[in-house]
Structure 1
Amino acid sequence: MILCVILASFLMFADQRMSWMEDVRAQVSSLVAPVQWIVSLPARGLSLASLALSDQTRLVNENRRLHERLVTLSQRVQRMASLSAENDRLRSLLRAAPRQQIPWISAGLLTLDNDPFLQQMIIDRGQRSGVYSGQPVVDSAGLVGQVISVSRYSSRVLLITDASHSVPVQVNRNGLRFIARGAGQANMLTLDNVPNNTDVRVGDLLVTSGLAGRFPEGYPVGRVTRMVRNDGSPFATVEAAPVAQLERSRNFILLFTHDQLARRHAELSPQAVSVALEVARAGESGEAP
């Protein structure tokens, strides 16, 4: 036990003080990637078995509901196409530059971190796919978090609900900007330094503001669930719930923002840079990554 304590203390000191530990961590992550993949197999097997044993009537009803939703979404897409064309015409009248498409790649969940004090997960994309530290991760509903460490075949993602995570946001209704910080719980965010007289309401949608350049602008982050104006204090207590399905999602999107890719060009391996730039070119040409 004493030897383990000494070794653990040395590793913690080396991790904080020595830069070469980053390479060691990446190599170790590459070694355990097959183990993580094997551990995820039972969950995938159970999911497939559950689908195979599903009741036929329930599947038929679900198919009917999805068909009705498809018709509704098709009508909305037609409307959005008209609005998009109108927006392009207005921007051309204002001589505004068209917004760039953000290239992306998909990723799947390997495992969640078992530490109750950490909100992290591991996905099945790594340096071979061009993934880099700081890369934004979203699901079908909104912002999930960002990549914090990368190995050859997998990456670790810090969720927006982790107590150490912060993201610049703005209220979609009026454009007010704040910092949303994780509360260390799976379903809670807090807004820092919100004045008591600020126009923030329960139900307001919070989206990424694009400030600091790490997260692209306009991605949903959370929805305000609690707003308490504190007497005797200049700041109110504001809580929000993430819109991303952090406890249910198994498929994610990794965004390649052009600014971050340019800044980290020198830090990435040549293979990762080549893959990321290829994905970026595919996104600009309208092809699927």
Structure 2
Amino acid sequence: MSGKRNIPALGIGLILVSLLLILFSSTFIGKDLRLILEALTNPIRKFEFSLISKIFAESQNTAYQKLVLENNNLRAKLVEQEKLVLENRALRDQFEAGYPPPDTIIPASIIGSPNFIPGLSFPTAFIIDKGQKSGIAEGNACVSGPNLLGVVSKVSENIAKISLISGTIKLTAKTVPEESSEREAQGVVTGEGRDSLVFENILLSDQLKVGQTVVTKGDALENGNGMPANLIIGKIESIDKKESSLFQRAKVKPLINFASISTLFCKIR
């Protein structure tokens, strides 16, 4: 404590000595004497400036660090609050959708999206914070509301990888007839690594319309895993039909923005 009290006194003393030396040097005309005095006073001035700067920094450092810490804590709380708001909104929307049934799904937070660069690429996979310990298994469907996002393709104890429908996975799909006189068209949906899918292997005799909803046909297994039927894949935005071809095909636009999702739901039974 006594050492800290002597620092200001020492600083003041050095300032006075420096001022006296400067004053003394200015009263002599001799050039050589001024040079000698400058050489003597420069180290003192340097030490004096360093000491004053150190004293000022020490007095300001504690308050500044406290302010930075408070700001960081506030930012962390705001981020956590925003995360809770988004999770609660996703839960509400999912329960309002009613399908898949709420008791057959669990929520999961997205913690990564391999190879996704905003503005340059499109999400084709998600990493979630749930794994085998939570009941997640390979082949489980993952949804947001009634919309299919993808399928669990890899799983460990605490995390899992979701291959999105925007990637290269293939799904058996069908159209939803808009009128009772229409029949559903069946085919295979494949992702293209962007925000549109290809709906192909559709018979020429099947009727397609722009705006028709495309859903999963369903590939559920006996144990309850697999793909449920009637999950929304997207809507038809264009049709490619040639009489010389064996099949027709269409472009399908997903109804959900994959890049904006932070919480999804995995079907576990």
Query: So what's the TM-score if we normalise by structure 1?
Result: 0.52
Counterpart selection for 1:170 from 168, 174, 188: 174
Amino acid at match of 2:190: R
Q: Is the deviation greater in 189-198 or in 221-230?
A: 189-198
Q: Secondary structure at the match of 1:193?
A: strand
Deviation at 1:245, TM superposition (A): 2.8
Matches within 5 A, 1:256-271: 256-257=268-269
Match of 2:216 in 1: 208
Match of 1:152 in 2: 157
Cα distance change on mapping 1:246 and 1:118 into 2, 3 Å: closer
Deviation at 1:237, TM superposition (A): 3.0
Cα distance change on mapping 1:140 and 1:47 into 2, 3 Å: farther
Match of 1:245 in 2: 257
Deviation digits for residues 81-128 of structure 1, max 9, x if unmatched? 9xxxxxxxxxxxxxxxxx987611100110111166981110110121
Cα distance change on mapping 1:188 and 1:245 into 2, 3 Å: same
Match of 2:39 in 1: none
Contact 2:110/2:126 (<8 A) preserved: yes
Match of 2:196 in 1: 188
Q: Secondary structure at the match of 1:247?
A: helix
Contact 1:141/1:243 (<8 A) preserved: no
Cα distance change on mapping 1:237 and 1:45 into 2, 3 Å: farther
Amino acid at match of 1:123: I
Distance 1:226 1:47 in 2: 43
Q: 1:226 aligned to 2:232? A: no
Cα distance change on mapping 1:167 and 1:47 into 2, 3 Å: farther
Contact 2:123/2:166 (<8 A) preserved: no
Distance 1:150 1:50 in 2: 29
Match of 2:148 in 1: 143
Q: Secondary structure at the match of 2:133?
A: helix
Match of 2:112 in 1: 111
The structure that has the greater radius of gyration is: 2
Deviation at 1:50, TM superposition (A): 10
Matches within 5 A, 1:22-101: 48=79
Deviation digits for residues 181-218 of structure 1, max 9, x if unmatched? 11222x11111212333201110001111135421112
Distance 2:124 2:264 in 1: 16
Contact 2:123/2:258 (<8 A) preserved: no
Contact 2:137/2:268 (<8 A) preserved: no
Structure 2 unaligned residues grouped into runs of 5+: 1-74, 83-88, 178-182
Amino acid at match of 1:105: I
Cα distance change on mapping 1:162 and 1:226 into 2, 3 Å: same
Greater relative contact order: 1 or 2 (C-alpha under 8 angstroms, separation 6 or more)? 1
Count of paired positions: 171
Match of 1:197 in 2: 205
Deviation digits for residues 215-243 of structure 1, max 9, x if unmatched? 11121111111102124322223110112
Seq. identity, %? 21
Amino acid at match of 2:261: S
Query: So what's the TM-score if we normalise by structure 2?
Result: 0.55
Distance 1:227 1:47 in 2: 46
Moved over 6 A (4+): none
Say what the alpha-carbon RMSD is for the aligned residues: 3.4
Q: Secondary structure at the match of 2:110?
A: strand
